[in-house]
Homo-oligomer: A and B are copies of this chain.
């Protein structure tokens, strides 16, 4: 139990830490399902079976990953342009985190998924909801969730490389577009924007037969 002044050759705490770091990195850009325990072990330089020993299993390692290093935890809402920029930048460098992925992708383990979703609520949805409420938004809960879902779609598609121009665009190009995407309905214009009005050239026709899934 002595405070490890000398670097111990066999150090459980160090192994734990290396597993935790490796897991966080891998989960961040491959997601939960697609990172294997063996991958984590290899990246950490630690035997994969240690995951079970130290954390109880892959799912619990993932949860530990979520709670570890959430830092000083100053969750700013996405309407803050600084926050948006830094978030976008970090995602560009480290990949979208498992927290964001959890919103849109099914997880193999329900416990892990729940934990990630709870964290998503706490970190990003709740702050934005509060902000919208403070701004007097009519339906802050719905708009906050819609907003963040849209944001997640963009960053995930971006880092997935699905869309050519989206992936190639710099964060500098993206920021103004994203801000506009997240813009609140402008109360100054009574008509609530021209997008809705511009679409009335089509009648009540139905598009039933088309079927793209």
Residues of A within 8 A of B (CB): 24, 27-28, 30-31, 33-34, 65-66, 69-76, 79-83, 86, 90, 94, 97-99, 102-106, 117, 119-120, 123-125, 139, 141-143, 145-146, 148-154, 156-158, 160, 162-166, 169, 173-174, 176-186, 188-189, 192-196, 198-199, 202, 204-213
CB distance from A69 to the nearest CB of B (A): 5
Check A166 against B149 for contact (C-beta < 8 Å): yes
Q: When A and B form their complex, which 8 residue pairs have the shortest distance between CB atoms, in order from nearest?
A: A153-B153, A97-B213, A183-B195, A149-B157, A150-B150, A145-B163, A145-B166, A81-B199
Q: List 18 A-B contacts (CB under 8 A).
A: A30-B106, A65-B213, A69-B211, A75-B212, A80-B199, A81-B196, A86-B207, A142-B173, A146-B174, A150-B150, A150-B181, A153-B157, A176-B192, A183-B194, A184-B194, A186-B189, A186-B194, A189-B189
Residues in B neighbouring A123, C-beta threshold 8 A: 212
Check B213 against A28 for contact (C-beta < 8 Å): yes
Residues in B neighbouring A94, C-beta threshold 8 A: 213
Check B169 against A142 for contact (C-beta < 8 Å): yes
Check A181 against B179 for contact (C-beta < 8 Å): no
Check B196 against A179 for contact (C-beta < 8 Å): yes
Check B193 against A183 for contact (C-beta < 8 Å): yes
Cβ-neighbour of A213 out of B98, B117, B146, B206 (below 8 A): B98
